[in-house]
Amino acid sequence: MFTPKYPTLDTAPTPATSLVGPPATLSHPPACDCHHTPATASAPAPVPASRPAVQLTPGALVVAVAGGTAVVLVVGAVLVSMLLAVAITAASVAVCAVVLRSLLNSQNNQR
């Protein structure tokens, strides 16, 4: 099932083919002795007449627009919340730095 399928020797193209003369024959034996039947080629699927690949009904269009809007809103909310978290963290670090600076300056002034 997972082994590659090779064409039989009579259908495989040979590198030394020419347009004049009989086809070249190979003298070496086939690669396997499993006596399987060659697969037959199935007919290609019919090509539909020129019509668009996707046809959207009004209901499907409304669902697509609503889904896109929901995705944009969710992604926007996540990005805004991440930005807010960074801003709050930066503000708290700045407040801590000011408090530590004040404590260190007050200790140096008392000496």
* Residue 10 DSSP symbol: T
Specify the higher pLDDT residue, 97 or 31.
97
- What pTM was computed for the model? 0.43
Cα atoms in the Cβ-side hemisphere of radius 13 Å centred on 72: 6
Q: Are 31 and 3 in contact (CB under 8 A)?
A: no
Angle at 74 between CA 72 and CA 75, to 5 degrees: 65
Cα–Cα distance, 111 to 106 (Å, whole number)? 9
pLDDT tens digit sequence for 30-61: 566 776 666 666 666 666 566 657 777 889 99
